[in-house]
Chains A and B, each alone.
Chain A
């Protein structure tokens, strides 16, 4: 049952930006290097344009010969090569700028999952968590690699160009200066309108993708009911509606790039007209009389370069939006879950040969109290069955002993130590297997298990027949036929892991629930062998045969635990 959680207010955009800023930390040198290379490329561009304008001026007005201009041509070629090297280095530095960031965030996420523990993790879908770990973290890259360096470049390079133009003709510089600050202003105005639309847009997109995904996953069902054509037309019409809504957003969003384009085009046109009239001597005011073909042409060549960094920045703006969106979700995840658990005091004086619970109180949320004042001792080496109606707290008791759940008050100690502080065996209701060989799967929890031990363990749980007819034995793939294992077989594979380990404690949650007769027999047999090896077993069950296996049966009812 899904619990209807009240939507927690996510982190503010400001918090997300601060988080991203803090992440930059030791990647800052790559970002700085990228900016440095970008500035070098910008300076090389200015030099290139200066020399080009100089060549034109000397060639056309002074009618210098080509041989006189050779050294200038050599200079231009050198500037162009320098610019190419700087540009190449810029992308190289940028490409590496977020490697560390992504690594750090992923490590934080993994550590957080570990901190949340299996119970909390089980509340979220694995697909969603995987998306955060992979795709959301990747979405941060563009912000560090492209947006941040470009933001600095879009301030520095226009300033350099402005300085050069100012030294040539201050009036032309003022034209540029006037149009430049207007651009971010207008873009901000347009952007604000787009922001609201964007919100709506993202909701539509995610809902639509969700519905499409849902249909694809259930396609067999649709086939069985002969409803695929209906679903296809539904996808068509919904996708079309999505397009219309998106276009509404985009029409507004593209206005900001149109504004940018408009100002840069108009500024070039105005500068060109002003220079032309100045050169003709029509303008007798201010610096215009000083204009030459050199200064005039250079100003014209520099005008587009003045706007180029801003243009590039607006192209990278979606990197920022993507990073902020992803960052907000990542931060929400990292801030979720319980605060660091309180340390259990005074475990030293707990006896080393029992699992002991003293005055334990455990509740989920405000309403559901599971245990009020539970005290219990389980002797080392015992085989204990927990019985009782479903929902009475059998699983919760197992979770307390495993350390997956923390008591609100009271003490839990396992063999004198904190629960979960040493390796133990756990068998949930769902088997766990990874893509790989039988040996890989067993070694997940016991990496140093020998081949013989692994083969033996697989036979112990009655899966021997599955490896016998494979040429590579335990080194053959588990799901070679693409069909995987049945639920019962998967649970037996998990059980086999317990055989290669030497865990003193093994906890099992309903180990035979939902199993077919064949798997059930093998699981019972395997558990019997485990008890004989002197380990402590605690399991919840309703199953008669399993109850018979236990040397102690605890009845869990309404938060009370007593011997049956």
Chain B
């Protein structure tokens, strides 16, 4: 339950809206109950008066008040139902926005080492399924549960007033039991299953993606069928779990419905007792049980919502985990940077969490305007070093001071947006001329001059309309646009063929003039022209 707390706080940020929505829902419920209860009262009254009239006894009945009441409830029911649905769904969508914005700003505040390395599909399910589970929490669970209690108390008050207090206390018993069965009971009986199922689906998703990524190797080895069969079995187990949780929820619903009906029968029995002692009139005696039957509507919403609470908790837990910002205590001194240096590193240590250090006692000084190459094979920690120098990873030891830097990560990341928007990230105030010039430097200007939309060409999902090498060159161009005096380039030419690479390398020389550049690569060929080279050895 604790995992839900931060999200509940978020949900209750706008109590006014929530209260209005709850009141509309309450009015809908009460109109429905009122319509039936008043109709029952009216029919009994008319039956009694009618019997008197037939017997020739003079009797009168006020038809206007109950008639008006019935018409009022019928219309109110329709109007409040519509208003409630529109208003509450607007609330849900507002919550969705809030949750997304909070989620995003939390994520952007956390360091990369704390953000788990999730695949795109995992993110998609986080941002759709898990967020959805939370944004409907109020409408599906909190509001109905609160209103069920409120309406129950109202009903008991009605029975205390019209029948007597003792009857009301007796009637409270089955209703309380129905409430507990529908809420806590359902939650306790399903939470283990749904939580496990929710985690299983996540595992299954990773499993499927691995299966697809390895399908060439699996096909060659003749193992696709066997591997798929394992995934099918996992999916089937997960579905069986879901069926079990569904059945349990169904039984809880049936039981709580049963108790509500029984409470109505009890109300009828108690009412008849009082009627026969002339302590209550016939129409009122009929009205109370009918009103009790109306409780089934709001109680019916509860088991389903509470049956999913286990999964909702799991969703909240996963999201909490993603945005946890447990920054380790800073042990890094940040000394002032001597005037002639661009980067000063002394006695640096890098490691991931509690694993053995990747690098210790690393020291480096880079002069302003110097072009340095850092060479190391895979696993030598060069990307981790680049991440640390760029400030993405906090070193566990040593000190680091640098000029403002711009960093080309090893992974090419382009956004589903226009070429212009992608480039402007590097320098939001760059002019079109500057954009074209930098595109020319990476030999991509000709490619986009030919496009109809030129700078406004849409780069498609994750830049998919570009080849790997082209996307890399756009990412490089974006970094070149940055006014930062220090550039960190990790494998700047991945996917770019040798001939093009050499040509771009030459053009870069003029671009690099007056700036400090540190290039990271697996060999000297993979880097622009540099003045000095450091080899990393593990």
Contact = CB atoms under 8 A, between A and B. Distances in A.
Interface stretch (B14-22, B140-148, B255-263, B332-340): B255-263
B426 to A, nearest CB: 6
Nearest to A236: B101
A517 B108 contact: no
B89 A134 contact: no
B245 to A, nearest CB: 8
Nearest to A239: B97
Contact of A56 (B44, B223, B428): B44
Contact of B413 (A113, A220, A251): A220
A337 interface: no
Interface in B240-287: 240, 242-244, 246-247, 249-251, 253-255, 257-258, 261-262, 264-265, 268-269, 272-273, 275-276, 282, 285-286
Contact of A232 (B101, B124, B201): B101
Interface in A293-336: 293, 296-297, 300-301, 304
A76 B265 CA distance: 8
B10 interface: no
B504 to A, nearest CB: 18
B269 A216 contact: no
A95 B129 CA distance: 21
A211 B261 contact: no
Interface centre among B96, B208, B223, by most chain A C-beta atoms within 10 angstroms, is: B208
A507 to B, nearest CB: 7
Contacts of B269: 66, 73
In order of increasing CB-CB distance, the 5 nearest A-B pairs are A91-B250, A426-B220, A127-B121, A432-B214, A272-B39
A223 B216 contact: no
Contacts of A94: 246, 250
B230 to A, nearest CB: 10
A265 interface: yes
Interface stretch (A346-354, A358-366, A486-494, A543-551): A486-494
B413 A481 contact: no
A77 B265 contact: yes
A488 B379 CA distance: 9
A208 B461 CA distance: 12
A428 B216 contact: yes
A255 B82 contact: yes
Contacts of A228: 104-105, 108
Contact of B243 (A99, A130, A447): A99
A297 B415 contact: no
A221 B108 contact: no
Interface stretch (A15-23, A367-375, A417-425): A417-425
A250 B85 CA distance: 9
Interface centre among B221, B226, B414, by most chain A C-beta atoms within 10 angstroms, is: B221
B180 interface: no
B6 interface: no
Contacts of B53: 280-281
Nearest to B75: A265
Contact of B261 (A48, A484, A497): A48
Nearest to B76: A265
A213 B289 contact: no
Interface string A76-109: 1100110111011011101110010011001100
Given A48-B261, A60-B282, A236-B97, A114 B228 contact: yes
B378 A516 contact: yes
Contact of B120 (A114, A217, A262): A217
Nearest to B467: A1
Contacts of A428: 216-217
B456 interface: no
Q: Which secondary structure characterizes the binding site on chain A?
A: helix
Given A91-B246, A117-B219, A444-B214, A66 B276 contact: yes
B322 to A, nearest CB: 9
B430 interface: no
A81 B258 contact: yes
6 contacts: A127-B119, A135-B125, A218-B414, A254-B82, A255-B82, A515-B522
B39 to A, nearest CB: 4
Interface in B421-442: 425-426, 428
Contact of B258 (A80, A239, A469): A80
Contacts of A122: 216
Contact of A265 (B35, B90, B107, B378): B35
Interface in B106-131: 107-108, 112, 115-117, 119-121, 123-125, 127-129
Given A66-B272, A432-B213, A134 B74 contact: no
B209 A127 contact: yes
Contact of B39 (A87, A250, A300, A445): A300
A321 to B, nearest CB: 16
B153 interface: no
B47 A279 contact: yes
B216 A426 contact: yes
A428 to B, nearest CB: 5
Interface stretch (B165-173, B231-239, B309-317, B508-516): B231-239
A268 B35 contact: yes
Given A84-B258, A280-B53, A296-B47, 7 more contacts: A60-B282, A88-B250, A88-B251, A99-B243, A137-B235, A247-B89, A483-B117
A254 B86 contact: yes
Interface in B373-402: 376-379, 390, 392
B489 to A, nearest CB: 12
Contacts of B32: 265
A212 interface: yes
A545 to B, nearest CB: 14
A292 B51 CA distance: 9
B44 A297 contact: yes
Nearest to B118: A217
Interface in A396-448: 402, 404, 420, 422-428, 430, 432-435, 444-447
B254 A84 contact: yes
B164 to A, nearest CB: 16
A217 B126 CA distance: 12
